Structures are given as structure tokens and as C-alpha cells.
Structure 1
């Protein structure tokens, strides 16, 4: 989190329709607390809420605004699991790790729903998401995926083909799809704003416009901002893609990536239901996937693609609109009202990084595009390990993370080359 970062929410549909929220003050002076959380996105606010519920004094430092980063800009899809499937996890890291992560794969979803109900958060929650297959290979993959997830306890899956799929997403691009009725979608910025208000209702303090410029390890840890200092017995580093320069030891093992989203003008109820009749969120099975859903005011919110390194394209609509029209050609004459980018953090193995530095600085990051649910799980696991129950946290922390090939200089072009290879396979159906 750097002092030069933009400090207001990006001009997204989410920001335009956000629930009222206070502008919180910057930190001034010196304060003490049990736990200081760096970053007011889903990981940080989830951690702060779990810890505040346990009676700890919590301070959250945010360089910009609550939900400024990926937590307030993403596709809003509640997708169970991780960016790597359980068979891959088992093959690489063993049955014990796979079982531990599999047992937690659907927990983040449940935490989100519990928070919404418990704290009365208005965030347009809808049920159901769908994975769409563009070719026969992907459809076979969905059949395998269904059997695999059922082994880990998800019994709310439905495989659809042909006309049955058209009743969920009316596009000629797909051969079939897998519905996860336990998934869903929501307004992510309103969710994190509601959770932040819940933290404050329990006595937690949140400071915006307060980038951390220096961390002095010790007991206590000292965190310096431009106008203040926090002394904390323990720290949660939750800045994800916005922590460059704060935890240098982790930077070679993760890479910021950008993705782009547009929202159309309101489509009206009839056209919206013609496209996605039962209001489920959709993502395809391509390596560089498209993802989309309807908003509460009947716009189509459509995202896709990855920019390795996190740079924004000059014209976001020019990048995303052709993807939308391949899926829904009938939208050729529909206007686009909002276009924005967001930055997420990707790891080489596509699994999140959990760990502890010097015994009292905890971190969770690198969700690799599947952060909405796993961030909420991370907050619970951080609260558990701080109370001496570290088995579940350690299941993630024990996963090794290697640096990207080529280091910081070559990781972007090498990742782009790999993405081109897999995207070509998707286009050829192999």
C-alpha cells in the first residue's frame, strides 16, 4: 500500500450504487491495540470482524477507502472452492492437505451468508452460479468436476446440456454447464461496507487514507503511516495486490494481475430474463475466462481477460465488449454505462498464501481470482490461529510457494506466453 495510490473508489457501477458509508478519518498520533489489520478489503475486514467478535481491540489501516481494491470491484460471484481443483491439490500436495482444504472449500460461502443475515447487510444477494463449457473437452471436465466436488460434500450440483442449459443462459456459445445451486452473486462493495460497519459496531476502529509506510517488527509491532503510529501485539497483513514494498519477501511469489468489467445500460426485465432466465452468475471454462451476471437493476455486468502485471488497457470497453457480443450477439446496439479495471494477486500454483512472519505478523493473500469466498474463510482462520487453534490455518500455510520463473523482470512476459498457449488450446477445443 503506497502513499501515491489513488485514494477514492474507481468509477464503477458498484461505486455508483454503493450504500451510504462514512468517510473515515486518517490516523493521527500514536495508538495501541491487540491487533492491527492492514487493508480494508474482504481479508482485512473479515479478520477484523472475527477478532472484534472475540473481544479483541482491533485497528484497521486502509491506504484509500474501505473496499477500494479487488473487494469492491470484482465480478460479485460467490464461487465455492479455489483456483485449483481438489484433484490437482491432492496430486501435488497429498491426500491430507487435499482433505483439509476440501473440508473448508464451501465454508467461505456460508460465512458470507451468515454475515449478511446477522448484520442485516443489503447487498443484492442472489442464489446460484453456473460454469459453462465451450467445447466437448470442457464439458467432460465439468462431469469430472461434479463427481469430485460431490466427494467433498457439495450435493447441490446439476449438470445441464443442450436445451436444458438454454433455460439458464441463453447463448449459443456453450454445449453444457454445471449449476452450483449453493453458489450465488451479490454487490461486493456493499458487502464489505456492511461488514466494516459491523466491525465498528463492536468497537473496532477503521482509518482510511492511512497507508502503511514502515513496519518495525518486534513486540509490539510498530506500523507507521504518514501521520501516525500503531503499536500492536499482533498484525494481519491483508493488502493483497496493494502491499508492494511492505512485505518484500513475498513479492517474488506473487504477481498483480488486472481484469476488466463493463456494465450495460439497463436492459429491462424482459431482455434481462431472456439472457439469463433464472438470474444465476455465469463463468465459462476457458483458461482466460469470461464471467458475467445480471445486476439488481437489470444491467449485464460482464468481465473477462487478464492483464499480467496489473496494467490497465487504454480502452476497457474495447477489450470487453467483443467478448460480451460473442456470448450475446443480440446486445450489439446496447450501450455501456460503466467500465473499470481491478487488480488481483496471483500465485504460481494459483493457491492462496498464508503464513506468519516473526511469530506475530500474519498474512493471507494471492487468491488468484477466487477471492470472494476464500477471503472470508481466511478471516476466520486467522482468528483461530491467534487463539491457539492453528491446524486449519497451517493446512494453507504448509503449501509451498515458489517464485515466478524469470523473477520480477520476466514473470509478466512468461505468464502471458503461458496464457496464450492455454487460450489457444481452448479455441481449438483440445
Structure 2
């Protein structure tokens, strides 16, 4: 039986020729063992080797590096600026501003790293455009922008409606705000490139090597099917799987799919719409529609908030073509009538680790002094995982810096209800959101109950509603 590979990742395996996937077959020692070969794990490994080249760093991945969320997201390179109000409420003004600035710096640092290490990840720093596609969404960025402007930290600017339509390539947009900080990247090429660079720096990587057990002894031990690693420090970078593997974190996230389609190349049609740059476009729904063009003239379109996993299980449907392909194709045709007959090259989906706040969080597992974790990126991890690498490498090295003192390093800032309440509640809220936004799309007033229910999910949206 063949293994399903999302389209981005298939292309990356062709261009970033992988080394043979060698599993761990012995018992070894290391200074640091990182579990998980996605963005967070690889950035952490790279930053550790940059800081201390002699450090013995071992990374294990249950499949191939990047085969999880890192290699199958939409490739929108975003910042945490739109989360400023939540950051300020939770951590205070100064820390919120520092995190926003660091997340914006990360966009350029990722691009620079790719240039320096010849990672051809199609990084295009062409900005981010948040839009309103119905009158109810108008002004959704005002609160965030006003606060950032008050602190002279605003990279966003409201654009005239006609300019928004031209930049977005679609007449469906009524208004919008643009930031030059952001853009797009081929996510599979980025993560496979990071794995290549990590190996070149001396990180030992074992693929096809799942962790079967973590022994939380004084010197922790990671057990695998055919070997083990005893390490001075362990970093758990398992994304949504953290909630199923560790009971203490089981209610810290809700696992929900983000579903995507990508067209066959249609550069002439895209040129006609005006969508020829790498700008990442997101509307202002709670579960956003997002899209962007690719270097070879395709259009990728996705939507979050579709399939909720009971008990945060890794569902089989996460490793199959999206069951929402028809709905996504309909949305694509609504935004881009000229593209409605363009064949769809592929569809896929994957699990997103939605935290209560919509922000990632980091900490020590069960307060163990040498076992660290980070996840909860809530569908916005391409850029913020760079911060995750800074945080986790600083923790491992025992540094006293702004990252180890950050309020992000204090575990989850909220918990979802236990099952089955979480699963039932998630479906109630999701369906209320769909009814509410469908009414708004038709310039109708949504019901009071649907508005109240939809409010519970606002924190997990792409932007604070302010």
C-alpha cells in the first residue's frame, strides 16, 4: 500500500533529493535528543549547532522529516502581529511588542538562511493581505492596527478597495490591510532543505524512527522500536501528536484539519487576474480562506476548521486527499471565475494544533528540568516555528535571555473541556460559524445564538478581532 504524500512534499522529495531514511537500530547517547523532524525540531537542532558546534544532537522522526504539518501547510509566511491584542492581554504590552517584532524579524531571517544555505524554497517576501469579503468583516483589523500604531510598531496599512482587489486578484474583496512583512514559501522544500543543512552541520538524523516511550529519569531516555537514545536533554517537537502522547497536555489543543487544493499551472490566467506575486491573502473569517500563487503559476487555496478529531486522534483522513475538495473548488471559482475550469492538480489536508489562545506555547514536560516541548501554532507556524527554535535551543543551553524569560515559556494558557464535551462543542461552534458566515455573505443578519457560539472560536482565528 502506497503512502499518501501531500503535493508540496512530493515535489520537495524530487527537488531536495533525500538521503536514505536510516532508522535507529542501536542504543546510543547524545547531548540532546530532538523528537520530531518538522520545522520546530529542525530549527532547534540547527540553532543548537550554531551556538555549540561540538554538541552531540540527535533527531528522530517517525516518517520522513517534514512529512507532517511542516510539509503540507499552505506555505503562507505570516507573523504574530495580528495576535497583538491577545499577546498584550496575556503577557503585557512590552512582551507583546517584543514577540511581534521577533516574529516579523523571523520572516527576513528565514529568507536569509535559505539564501546562505542554498535552500531553493521559493521564498517570496511579497507581503500579507488581510481582507474583508463581506460587510460584516469590515474593520476586523482596526483594533490591532490602532494598538500597533499607538506603539509605533505598525507595519500594516489600509488600502483603497480597488488596490485591494488588484493585489488579491479578485473582485470578492471589499477592503483590506497590507503588510510588506510576510509572503509565501514552498513548505516542503523549506523543511527538506532544513533537514539537509542540519545534517551538514553535524546533526544525526534518524528517519522511520518513532518514539515508543519516553522515560523521564534524571537523564531521560527516548525508546524506539529498535533502539534508544539516552540524552542530557530531550526536546519534544511533535506538533499535534503531543496531545495524544502526553496526558498532561491532552486538553491544551484541539486538533482540526486545514484543507487545501492546488491547480495545474495557469500562469496566463493568473497574470490576467493580477495575482502574480507571492503575497499571502487571508480573509477575515474565523476559519479563514487563504490563498496564494506559486512560482510556476499555480493557485493554492485552503480553508481551516473543517474536520475536528475526537480525543485529538491522528485521523486516517488527515493522510488522504481532502474530503472538502468540492467546497474548496467552489470557493476558488467564486474568488477567481476565470480559473473555475482549471484542473485541480491535488488536494490534501493535515492536522492543525489549535490552542485556546491561538498562540504557541512552550514549557517543561511534567516540570522535568531537562525535557522541553513546544507546539500550539494554530495553523500559523511557518514563521513562528523560527521563534520556537530560538526558545527551545535557549532552554536546552540553559541561557538566561529574553526567550527563556518569556511568558510563552509557561505552558498552555487555557484548556479545552474534556471529551465528549470538546468534540460536541467543536461541532456546534463550527456549524454555528458556517451558518453565521453564510448569512453574512448574503448580507443577512446571523442569529444571536450563532453569533454567541461563533465567539468561542474567535481566539483560534488568524487575526484578533480587537
1:32-71 aligned within 5 A: 32-54=29-51, 55=53, 56-71=55-70
Aligned-partner SS, 2:159:
strand
Tell me the SS of whatever aligns to 1:141: coil
Equivalent residue, structure 2, for 1:371: 381
| Structure 1 residue matching 2:231: 3-state secondary structure | strand
Secondary structure of 1:105's aligned partner: helix
- Unpaired stretches in structure 1, ≥5 consecutive residues: 1-5
Distance in 2, matches of 1:152 and 1:239, equals 35
Deviates more, 1:314-323 or 1:250-259: 314-323
Deviation at 1:126, TM superposition (A): 1.1
Alignment of 1:30 onto 2:40: no
Runs of 4+ in 1 over 6 A off after TM superposition: none
Equivalent residue number for residue 208 of structure 1: 207
Shift of 1:401: 2.8
Unaligned segments of structure 2, at least 5 residues: 446-466
- The 1:16–1:170 alpha-carbon spacing in structure 2 relative to 1, beyond 3 Å, is same
1:223-282, Cα deviation, whole Å (9 max, x unpaired)? 000011001100110011133543221112112211111111111334345251444221
- Matched residue, 1:89: 87
Q: 2:132 aligns to what? A: 133
Q: TM-score when scaled to structure 2?
A: 0.84
> Which deviates more, 192-201 or 63-72?
192-201
CA–CA distance in structure 1, aligned partners of residues 216 and 253 of structure 2: 22
Indicate how the Cα distance of structure 1 residues 293 and 246 shifts in structure 2: closer, same or farther if over 3 A, else same: same
Partner residue, 1:382: 392
Distance 2:149 2:39 in 1: 28
Match 2:413 to one of 393, 398, 401? 401
Measure how far apart 1:12 and its partner are.
1.4
Cα displacement (A) at 1:105: 3.2
- Seen in structure 2, the aligned counterparts of structure 1 residues 399 and 217 have a Cα distance that, compared at 3 Å, is closer
Secondary structure of 2:29's aligned partner = strand
Q: Structure 1's 212 and 115: CA in aligned 2 closer, same or farther, altered over 3 A?
A: same
Q: Distance in 2 between matches of 1:152 and 1:112?
A: 26
| 1:415 is aligned to 2:426 | yes
Counterpart selection for 2:325 from 300, 308, 317? 317
Q: SS of the counterpart of 2:419? A: helix
Answer yes or no: is the 8 Å Cα contact 1:131–1:282 preserved in 2.
yes
Cα distance per residue 1:125-179 (max 9 Å; x no partner):
1122211112344331223333334456655433223211122023222111112
Distance in 2 (alpha carbons) for counterparts of 1:417 and 1:93:
30
Q: SS at 2:423's partner residue?
A: helix
CA distance in 2 between partners of 1:78 and 1:104 (Å)? 14
Distance 1:11 1:399, change over 3 A: closer
Distance (Å, rounded) in 2 between the aligned partners of 1:100 and 1:351: 15
Distance 1:228 1:212 in 2: 10
For residue 115 of structure 1, what is the aligned residue in structure 2? 113
Counterpart-to-counterpart distance in 2, 1:61 and 1:428: 47
Deviation, 1:286, is: 0.5
Q: State the shift of 1:370 in Å.
A: 0.9
The alpha-carbon deviation at position 99 of structure 1 amounts to: 3.9
Say if 1:221 and 1:235, in contact at 8 Å, map to a contact too. Answer: yes
Contact 2:165–2:174 (CA under 8 A) maintained in structure 1? no
Number of equivalent positions: 423
Cα shift at 1:59:
0.4
- Say whether residues 1:10 and 2:18 are aligned partners: no
1:291 aligns with 2:290: yes
Structure 1 pair 88/402, CA: closer, same or farther in 2 (3 Å)?
closer
Counterpart position of 2:451: none
Say which SS state the counterpart of residue 119 (structure 2) adopts: coil
Instruction: Return closer, same or farther for 1:322/1:305 CA change in 2, 3 Å cut-off.
Output: farther
Deviation at 1:302, TM superposition (A): 0.9
**Is the 8 Å Cα contact of residues 223 and 229 (structure 1) preserved in structure 2?**
yes
Distance verdict in 2 for CA 1:59–1:223, change over 3 Å: same
Distance 1:139 1:232, change over 3 A: same
Residue 47 of structure 2 contacts residue 390 of structure 2 at CA under 8 Å; is this kept in 1? yes
